[in-house]
């Protein structure tokens, strides 16, 4: 059909068609009710005439005033039929411009005689025709009103979509703004929230991709300059074999650093592919326990302690587990990196009004909260690293529809709190284990 690809036309046709059926059905029932009521009244009137005659009563002595008033328009006749007819029969006949209603009432069944009562109902028939015409006109007017109303209603229903389309069509990666949710109807709020989430991801992607390109160029340019300078110095004059070996070792070390940068950049590409993986239902608490088991051994080997406090007992969510693992692994790696020996690291989770809050708390040196550590190649302290770990964690959190945050501890102990807030709208909580 021509309207299947248009929501508005589809809605318009269905609303008009269903309203037309409703109007025709209601009008038909109304007309039949009026017609039956009038004919029933005429039937009772003729029946009363016949009963009065049958009981040897004069018409003028009848109790009904209406019968007395209409006696001149009624004809009485005694007839005999060839076949016996026990039931009262009534039928309508037309002679020229006049319409008559006739009633046959049994008078003497043994003799097969009947009283034939005939009354002219031309005016009544004309009245029914007028009623029919009026109902037909009202139906046409109602159909036009409903059609106009359907047009206005369909326009009103699709106007939020048109508004969203207009806003999105005028956006690009440089001029992109969130949609104002409070200006949308309640039914469109989930769509607006989803679009804003997508816009936020695009904004972060554009922002961090620019920083990633600039940072990559800068990070690779520096070791390349070191390699070139070292080679130039080495080639100025002849040197001993040991000096050449030392120069090559320096070059290899610099190349290794460049390989680390390239590997991390490739990891970004692999993560973007993981964001397209089909989400699966998984127990988040079980994932955290498995990750904690891996890092407890590593923490012990470095003379540190990893404490685990996971609540509730189970928390099911539909997500990409690989992205969640990447975030938690980055949190724990950073906590181990910056926490001194004989200090503690805490992995904990708790249920709140939003959903599930996962936190990794260390006893390291803390962070400078004025720096955007989620930007690529941003590093804190003097520890080794490329500075892409938190960038990857932030990208993974955005893909999960989760919120990631870094802040300093406020309990009087120096250190950092890395948190991941999972939204319960996409999750379900399992009953507590007995």
The tens digit of pLDDT for each residue in 98-138 reads 888 998 888 877 778 888 888 888 888 899 999 999 999 99
Whether residue 380 is predicted with pLDDT greater than 70 in this model: the reply is: no
How are the residues of the chain apportioned to helix, strand and coil, as percentages rounded to the nearest 5?
55, 20, 25
Residue 416: pLDDT above 90? yes
Rounded-to-integer distance, Cα 256 and Cα 234, Å = 20
Helix (H) or strand (E) holding 213: helix 189-236
Contact indicator for 344, 307 with CB cutoff of 8 Å: yes
- Structural domains of the chain, ranges and CATH numbers in brackets: 7-145 (no CATH), 196-274 (1.10.287), 280-428 (3.30.565.10)
- C-beta of residue 118 within 8 angstroms of C-beta of residue 102: yes
Q: Residue 62: which pLDDT band, with cuts at 50, 70 and 90?
A: very low
Per-residue pLDDT reduced to its tens digit, 215-225: 667 667 777 77
Q: What is the pLDDT of residue 417?
A: 95
pLDDT band at 425 (very low <50, low <70, confident <90, very high): low
Check the CA dihedral 135-136-139-140 and report its sign: negative
């Amino acid at each position: 059909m021509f309207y299947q690809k248009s929501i508005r036309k589809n809605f318009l046709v269905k609303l008009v068609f269903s309203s037309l059926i409703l109007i025709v059905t209601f009008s038909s029932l109304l007309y039949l009710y009026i017609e039956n009521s009038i004919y029933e009244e005429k039937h009772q009137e003729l029946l009363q005439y016949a009963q009065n005659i049958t009981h040897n009563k004069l018409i003028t002595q009848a109790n009904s005033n209406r019968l007395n008033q209409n006696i001149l328009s009624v004809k009485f006749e005694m007839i005999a039929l060839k076949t016996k007819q026990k039931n009262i029969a009534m039928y309508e006949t037309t002679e020229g411009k006049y319409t008559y209603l006739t009633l046959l009432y049994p008078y003497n069944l043994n003799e097969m005689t009947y009283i034939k009562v005939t009354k002219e109902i031309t005016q009544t028939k004309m009245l029914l025709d007028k009623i029919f015409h009026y109902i037909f006109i009202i139906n046409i007017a109602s159909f036009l009103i409903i059609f106009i109303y359907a047009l206005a209603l369909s326009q009103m229903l699709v106007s939020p979509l048109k508004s969203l389309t207009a806003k999105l069509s005028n956006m690009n990666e440089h001029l992109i703004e969130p949609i104002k949710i409070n200006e949308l109807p309640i039914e469109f709020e989930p769509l607006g929230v989803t679009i804003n989430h997508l816009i936020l991801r695009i904004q972060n992607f554009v922002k961090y991709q620019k920083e990633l390109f600039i940072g990559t160029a800068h990070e690779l340019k520096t070791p390349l300059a070191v390699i070139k300078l070292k080679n130039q110095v080495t080639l100025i004059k002849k040197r001993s074999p040991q000096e050449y070996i030392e120069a090559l070792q320096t070059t290899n070390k610099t190349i290794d650093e460049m390989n680390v940068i390239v590997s991390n950049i490739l990891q970004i590409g692999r993560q973007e592919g993981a964001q397209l993986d089909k989400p699966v239902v998984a127990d988040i608490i079980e994932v955290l326990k498995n990750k904690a088991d891996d890092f407890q051994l590593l923490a012990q080997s470095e003379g540190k302690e990893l404490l685990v406090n996971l609540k509730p007992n189970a928390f099911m969510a539909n997500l990409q587990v690989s992205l969640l693992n990447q975030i938690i692994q980055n949190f724990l790696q950073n906590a181990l990196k910056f926490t001194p020996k004989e200090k503690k690291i805490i992995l904990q989770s708790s249920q709140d009004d939003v959903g599930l809050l996962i936190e990794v708390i260390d006893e390291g040196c803390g962070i400078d909260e004025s720096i955007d550590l989620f930007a690529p190649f941003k590093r804190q302290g003097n520890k080794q690293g490329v500075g892409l770990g938190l960038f990857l964690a932030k990208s993974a959190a955005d893909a999960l529809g989760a919120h990631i945050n870094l802040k300093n501890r406020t309990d009087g102990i120096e250190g950092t709190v890395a948190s991941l807030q999972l939204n319960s709208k996409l999750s379900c909580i399992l009953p507590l284990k007995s």
